[in-house]
Amino acid sequence: MAVLRGRRRCRGAVLLLLLASVLAPLVLYGGSPVSVAHLPDSTAASGAFDREDAPNLVWPQIAASGVSLAKDLTIERLGEHKNRVLSATDHWQAVEAASRSRASGKPDASVLREEPESRNADDEDAPVVEGNGNAGLGQGGVIREVVGSEGSADRFGEPGDGKDAVVRNGKEVGIKLPHSIDAEHKDGSDGAGENIISGMHATGSLNSSSTQTRDATTSRDHQTRLSKSSSARRTTNRSTGQSTTSPDATVHIIKDQLAIAKTYLGFFTSRGNHGFARELRARMRDIQRALGDATSDRQLPRNVHSKIRAMEQTLVKVRKIHDSCSGAVNRLRTVLHSTEQQLDSNKRQANYLAQVAAKSLPKGLHCLTLRLTNEYYFANSKNKHFPYMEKLEDPKLYHYALFSDNVLAAAVVVNSTLFHAKKPEDHVFHIVTDKLNYAAMKMWFLANPLGKAAIQVQNIEEFTWLNSSYSPVLKQLESRFMIDYYFRSGHARPDENPKFRNPKYLSILNHLRFYLPEIFPKLNKVLFLDDDTVVQRDLTALWLVDLKGKVNGAVETCRETFHRFDKYLNFSNPLIAKNFDPHACGWAYGMNMFDLSEWRKQNITEVYHTWQKLNENRLLWKLGTLPAGLVTFWNRTFPLDRFWHQLGLGYNPNVNERDIRRAAVIHYNGNLKPWLEIGLPKYRKYWSTHVNFNQVFLRECNINP
């Protein structure tokens, strides 16, 4: 109860003092209070209303009409001051409650402590009402609260903008100038309710106080400008995320403004908006000069706040003309979509060019073929036969099958095999090529004999039994549909991989591997090698491997997910889904041991024909011989140890060097063949080791390592 009585007495005292401050000039001088605006600037700024300076004042004569106007304005001011005092009294009660809570050691969360805003030495227009040292608030014993209602639009008051002084707790209240400090009174919701008293310096007792009268229109204009200025300052404070009590709060505001300005400057520069760009650069230069190397607000110059406001005004204009975030997002999405389309187009173009580069014959190899062909037809017919022809059908020897139209590649396979063979005389090589390269292939091995090893070069045109009536794949390759598909780009889908349209798949040489028993009717086992392989070990041990009734011995490639069946076959087709496991391990062509005896027993060639007929429209798999091999040798493939066959040297630059060195056969599968300029240089040495670049034909065709 004592507390309530004290509060009532406090409020009553404040009201009485307020009434006295308003009516005192009328009683003493018989008229309205004189506006400070009528006094010289120097008088107002030096404390014209100080009591000890009162005898020096010269009051002008006031007309009778002025007295009436002053009375009306006094009544209006009385109502305004009453509301302010009531608000201030409520705040003082909250402060007292906070003081009691601190005294008892229990913090009161409902009371918000007012913190002074950091200010600069030149901020003369934001005075603060200070109570005496008996207020009991904080270490300094000073209550700082803005209770004025008017101020200039830029927060810098003029000397004639002074407002009423207020007495708190019955004590004298002073309004200091020029070193006043802004303070915000927060009501717990949005921090609004900021008022500014400026341009007035008053101390002493009540009878020395005076009030200022102003035109009502001017007051409303000032109030509007003040609201805008306060809103801008709150926006700036919120954007920085820094407390206004921080010793470097202004420094943080400047840095944030610079960061935002740099971002907008990039936008305007890219769009050619040079007018705003110049203005923004100018503001940035001004505020950067003001900031300098300062790390705290005390190191900033006196005029820094004016530069901050100027920058804020420029940023406001920039935000108005700049697109919203949603517009920027839509533009970025459009750019992203366009970029993705361009990227896809470039990828398709790059893929196509890579296929062209990989399948085109280099000029040197083309020259070599022509040079060898010319030499072959000019050679004596007696010198066109190979020795050791009796070994060609001896099943006790080690027979190799090689189907190629590349002379130099075939030579490397043969040379590397014989180089590592323990008994070269026991090895027999069967090479099948097309009509165009037959003479060149034969002339090369005639000019570069293999010692005691036997070699046979055959022309695929001599296989009269291989025709479209016997082979369904040959019938399909000769069809008009397939020729149009491979040679007319208009039949291609835009999203289709260009490798599917490689004309090499029209070559029957790729499908000869499914006719080994017909090509070698008297042999029991044949080791099939691709022409992009290099042999690094003696391979005779492969003939000793028990295939356990399987037809094909191959190295599995299921360490990589893309080498499983579902990557080669169309499992959306019921026929494929019914007969095969999508997760089954694939295996590699390139080095395969074929048991021709088991092949004949299980009639594998007929199995191959059956699946080729079912895939006439390419609905089961796209192309190539590997998918056809997977379905033909399903459950008929024996897995060999991995060291026998190392793949990836034609596309993977990260093949382990140790795996390469320990492998019996390395395979340049992929587009980056070692005889091409696009081949991987780090792997070319394994291939070029087995090429004799001093050979006369290679020198004539300028083929170098």
pTM reported for the whole predicted model: 0.56
Q: What are the boundaries of each domain within the chain?
A: 248-323, 363-701
- 76, two tokens: 């209006």
CA distance 586 to 629: 10
Q: How confident is the model at residue 411 (pLDDT cuts 50, 70, 90)?
A: very high
Q: What is the pLDDT of residues 562-619, one digit of tens each?
A: 578 988 899 999 999 999 999 899 998 999 999 999 999 999 999 999 999 998 888 8
* pLDDT over threshold 90, residue 15: no
Q: Which residues contact 661 (CB under 8 A, 6 or more apart)?
A: 536
pLDDT of residue 599: 97
Long-range contacts from 384-390, C-beta under 8 angstroms, 24+ separation = 384/442, 384/446, 386/445, 386/446, 386/454, 386/455, 386/456, 386/457, 387/449, 387/454, 388/452, 388/453, 388/454, 389/454, 389/456
Q: How confident is the model at residue 646 (pLDDT cuts 50, 70, 90)?
A: very high
CA distance 623 to 356: 18
- 508, two tokens: 């029957």
- 170, two tokens: 């019955």
* pLDDT over threshold 80, residue 499: no
What is the length of the chain?
705
Q: What is the pLDDT of residues 29-83, one digit of tens each?
A: 444 444 433 444 433 333 433 444 433 333 344 444 444 555 565 566 666 655 6
pLDDT of residue 505: 65
* pLDDT over threshold 90, residue 169: no
Residue with the larger pLDDT of the pair 95 and 84: 84
CA distance 439 to 447: 12
- CA quadruple 210, 214, 216, 218: dihedral sign: negative
* pLDDT over threshold 50, residue 311: yes
Match domain 363-701 to its CATH number in 3.40.50.150, 3.30.365.10, 3.40.50.720, 3.90.550.10.
Answer: 3.90.550.10
